[in-house]
Amino acid sequence: MANGGTGTATATAPETATERGALTHPDLHRLDDVNRDVLKMLGRPGKGWWALFGLAATGVGVFLTAWLLIQVPFGIGVSGLNSPVGWGVYITTFVFWVGIAHSGTLISAILFLFRAPWRQSIYRAAEAMTVFAVMTAGLFPLIHVGRLWHAYWLIPYPNSRFLWPNFKSPLIWDVFAITTYFTVSATFFFLGTIPDIAAARDRATGLRKKFYTVISLGWQGTDSQWHHFGKAYIYLAALATPLVLSVHSVVSWDFAMSIVPGWHTTIFAPYFVAGAIYSGIAMVITLIVPMRKIFGLEAYLTTKHFDAMAKLMLLTSLIVLYAYLCEFFLAWYSGEEVERTAFWNRLFGNYWWATWIMLTCNGFVPVMLWFKRVRHSIPALFVISFFVNIGMWFERYVIVVTSLHHEYEPFAWGMYRPSVVEMCILVGSFCWFGFWFLLFTRLLPPIAIQELKEVMPPPMRKKATTQGADS
């Protein structure tokens, strides 16, 4: 991945070039362009932003109503859940959002450690996405439980009952995994923004200035501060990296630890992690394409970035597809009747459509990414990323629902149809996510100013290079 950028250097770029930054941002010339362009985004919001924000806010309203005013008072029965299908859209969406949360840290931490050249201009958005996605995901276990008011019993704390949670239960592992991941990624995200917030502070006035002053933690940009900043950043990156792998492994164990045919599989951890990164990258693309348009960041988000992300998507799509095939093969190879029936039922049973949506979106559509022309066409990538998002949601739906509805006891087989409330909460969760993300694009520099500058050719040297190229 490290030299993913150079591997696809465009024809216009001289192979001998050393400033990889120059290749990444060919149209950026002066450092203060960056400040200007990026901080401009924090200015007065346009109509488009308000429209989106209004939409998101309404969605959040629906979301909270459906959950707190309908489901909690009346009971979880307002969902379509039943016996045998005790988990449905809620858990599906939970896993989906946890998955989304992954690429952020991947791009910002892992690619940072690998010194991948193309991360600078997208990692801020990706990180923000991570934080908000975890915020969203974290809600779903709460939405899902039958007695929300007792959900805190899952937290180990000394209590009057002398009772502790069951540390054997994967659900408890989840509690730890998610909270840890949220803490670290949030800290990492915030730390990375400090210098840029300071930059914003220096330009801002009035209330905004106060706000930035507080959260910039008195950043002055002195050498010592930069020194500490760099250290802290790299340590956090090192700390966050293993989490990318661990968190979704733990989530996958929610299923793998059970004995449900279709859940009880050893490949779940790598399979889920790959899927998570896959869906995460897709979501990044889905988010930054419109952002790029709205804020006119063409100079900052070039085809090179998209090309690199497309390749990452292609790779992970292959891993995921492999995992699918692996599951089906092993089900057949095990010779176990229950296992075989379960997977046959996946492909051709009552929920065949979900499975085929999953396979099409995740397995077949991304094949187009083999073609450079596709990778370089931003509209195409945008559409593909959408397919992948849909496909990845259905992947979780297939795993959760089809496995449960046909289990060991044929007489107890049943069907599950999501209810309106569940749908409201599903859609609402996207609005909730969008709500925070939109706020972010307004309040914090969505592109890392400082790091961009690092990889940009200093003005005087740009002249030199151009001369060199001319001669």
* 100 HSE (CA, 13 A, CB side): 33
Q: Which residues contact 126 (CB under 8 A, 6 or more apart)?
A: 103, 104, 106, 107, 108, 280, 284
User: Smallest distance from the beta carbon of 284 to other proteins, in angstroms?
Assistant: 31
Q: Which stretch binds other proteins (CB under 8 A): 122-130, 138-146, 186-194, 420-428?
A: 138-146
User: Smallest distance from the beta carbon of 422 to other proteins, in angstroms?
Assistant: 13
User: Angle, to 10 degrees, between the axis of helix 170-203 and the axis of helix 31-40?
Assistant: 110
Report residue 53 as tokens: 């924000």
Candidates 74, 332, 370, 371; binder of other proteins (CB under 8 A) is: 74
- The residue (of 9 and 151) whose beta carbon lies closer to other proteins is 151
Query: 3-state DSSP call for residue 83?
Result: coil
Candidates 15, 16, 27, 168; binder of other proteins (CB under 8 A) is: 168
Candidates 213, 241, 246, 360; binder of other proteins (CB under 8 A) is: 213
Q: Is 335 in the site for other proteins (CB under 8 A)?
A: no
Q: Which residues contact 128 (CB under 8 A, 6 or more apart)?
A: 104, 189, 437, 440, 444, 446
Rounded Cα distance, 266 and 263, in Å: 9
| Residue recorded with tokens 């289990």 | 407
User: Smallest distance from the beta carbon of 80 to other proteins, in angstroms?
Assistant: 7
Per-residue DSSP letter, 442 = H
Q: Is 221 in the site for other proteins (CB under 8 A)?
A: no
Rounded Cα distance, 426 and 408, in Å: 29
| CA 360 to each of CA 111, 123, 363: distance values in angstroms, whole numbers, following the listed order | 29, 29, 5
Q: Which stretch binds other proteins (CB under 8 A): 100-108, 213-221, 435-443, 457-465?
A: 213-221
Rounded Cα distance, 171 and 178, in Å: 10
Rounded Cα distance, 198 and 191, in Å: 12
User: Smallest distance from the beta carbon of 155 to other proteins, in angstroms?
Assistant: 8
Residue 262-301 contact track with other proteins, rule CB under 8 A, x = bound: ----------------------------------------
Candidates 9, 145, 330, 380; binder of other proteins (CB under 8 A) is: 145
- The residue (of 113 and 338) whose beta carbon lies closer to other proteins is 338
User: Smallest distance from the beta carbon of 248 to other proteins, in angstroms?
Assistant: 18
Rounded Cα distance, 97 and 137, in Å: 5
Q: Is 85 in the site for other proteins (CB under 8 A)?
A: yes
Q: Is 408 in the site for other proteins (CB under 8 A)?
A: yes
Candidates 86, 270, 349, 363; binder of other proteins (CB under 8 A) is: 86
What are the start-end ranges of the H helices in 162-267?
170-203, 206-215, 223-256
Q: Is 224 in the site for other proteins (CB under 8 A)?
A: no
- The residue (of 149 and 460) whose beta carbon lies closer to other proteins is 149
User: Angle, to 10 degrees, between the axis of helix 89-105 and the axis of helix 120-144?
Assistant: 160
Query: 3-state DSSP call for residue 66?
Result: helix
- The residue (of 316 and 341) whose beta carbon lies closer to other proteins is 341
Q: Which stretch binds other proteins (CB under 8 A): 15-23, 166-174, 202-210, 452-460?
A: 166-174
Rounded Cα distance, 454 and 38, in Å: 15
Residue 169-208 contact track with other proteins, rule CB under 8 A, x = bound: xxxx--x---------------------------------
Residue pair 78/419 in contact by the 8 Å Cβ criterion: yes
Candidates 337, 467, 470, 471; binder of other proteins (CB under 8 A) is: 337
Rounded Cα distance, 61 and 9, in Å: 47
Q: Is 16 in the site for other proteins (CB under 8 A)?
A: no
Query: 3-state DSSP call for residue 79?
Result: coil
Summarize as ranges the residues that interact with other proteins (CB under 8 A): 74-77, 80-87, 141, 144-147, 150-154, 157-163, 165-166, 168-172, 175, 213-214, 216-218, 254, 257-260, 337-338, 341, 404, 407-415
